[in-house]
Amino acid sequence: MKTITQLFFLIACSTVGFSQSVAYIDFGSADNQTEDANYNNVTGFGPEEDGSEVNLINSDGEDTGITLLVDDAFNGLNTGGSETAEDFTFPATATGDSFYGSLVDFANTDLQTTGGFTLSGLDAEQFYSFSIFASRDGATENRSTLYTIQGAESFQATLNPSDNTTEIARIENVQASETGTITFTAQPGADNLNLPNQFYYLGAIELTISEDMLSVDSAVLNNSLAVYPNPVSSQTQITFDLQEQANLKIDIYDLSGRLVENIANGEQPAGKFTKTWNRSSNIAAGVYILQIDADGKRFNSKLLLK
């Protein structure tokens, strides 16, 4: 999976007064709903379908005050999702189906260049983080799906659902718009090779609601990322600590999800990692995404080139 997330790495997170809750959302068939763990089942893939509007509860069964409405229709339901490992974030009932869209007419449905939903009733002072999963079993070509989240700012991430059993796209620390809403849009990513349909998918989401920003996942990184200087003129130094040995990949993407340059790719021992990136003259000024992948855990940072 290529994850493109327009956010800053967070070096630390205050634990004083910190609280958070999690809401699990399963997008799929009404015949394959997730009943455990207080899941929210969204079964309507368009605004005119039953089950397209859900008042979300958290994993404790408590009302979050948040309403999810599928107001940008998908084409329909995909019931050919992959089953995942037992210790995965999402159960098989959530990963085995999904909503899908297509850029051409398919199965007597209208083309849907995008599909998505709106969250309302949000607190503009809180932070909303999304872990996104989708899967299409048996797909051999890249079916990259680009997810765009618009709140007070816009964020993006991509995921390849083809035969996916473990990969997750993450977009963290989103704040709501002034009207208390966040819009979520799915569409084909730049690497989607499924022609002419360019199918894209949305299967399940783990939504974390927090009073403070989430820190970098310390399972691999020790909350230690530094990118300096940023904004970048000609070069920048990327430094962080690996908590354990990992297969490390570092890429730069533009905001459309196109790979601009691979910086590092290989096994790295635990400890401090430092890499100097020299910017090529053909890379234009603008906003880019620095993605760090350590054993499948992906972290992203906004990179400004001037």
Domain for residue 12, yes or no? no
Q: Of 226 and 195, which is predicted with more confidence?
A: 195
Beta strands across the sheet bearing 182-188: 53-57, 63-72, 115-120, 182-188, 145-150, 154-159
* Six token digits for residue 286: 């603008």
Is the domain of 24 the same as that of 54? yes
Domain for residue 185, yes or no? yes
Is the domain of 158 the same as that of 243? no
pLDDT of 88 > 80? The answer is: no
Determine the pLDDT at residue 218: 47
Domain for residue 136, yes or no? yes
Q: What is the pLDDT of residues 59-82, one digit of tens each?
A: 888 999 999 999 999 999 999 998
The model carries a pTM of 0.68
Domain for residue 219, yes or no? no
Number of domains in the chain: 2
* Helix (H), strand (E) counts: the chain: 1, 21
172 band by pLDDT with thresholds 50, 70 and 90:
confident
Is the domain of 26 the same as that of 151? yes
Residues 6+ positions from 25 with CB-CB distance below 8 Å: 39, 40, 42, 54, 56, 68, 204, 205, 206, 207
Determine the pLDDT at residue 5: 36
pLDDT of 16 > 50? The answer is: no
Out of 151, 184, 210, a domain closes at 210
Label residue 100 exposed, middle or buried (CB < 10 Å: 0-12, 13-18, 19+).
Answer: buried
Determine the pLDDT at residue 86: 55
Is the domain of 150 the same as that of 253? no
Is the domain of 26 the same as that of 161? yes
Give the residue numbers spanning the domain of 259: 226-305
- Give which of 128, 120, 149, 151 is closest to 53, Cα–Cα: 120
Q: What is the pLDDT of residues 39-58, one digit of tens each?
A: 999 999 999 899 999 999 99
Is the domain of 104 the same as that of 251? no
Neighbours of 164 (CB within 10 A): 23
- Give which of 117, 132, 179 is closest to 152, Cα–Cα: 179
Backbone angles phi, psi at 177, to 5 degrees: -70, 175
Q: What is the pLDDT of residues 218-265, one digit of tens each?
A: 445 655 677 888 889 999 989 887 878 889 999 999 887 889 999 999
CA-to-CA distance for 105 and 101, rounded, in angstroms?
10
192 band by pLDDT with thresholds 50, 70 and 90:
very high
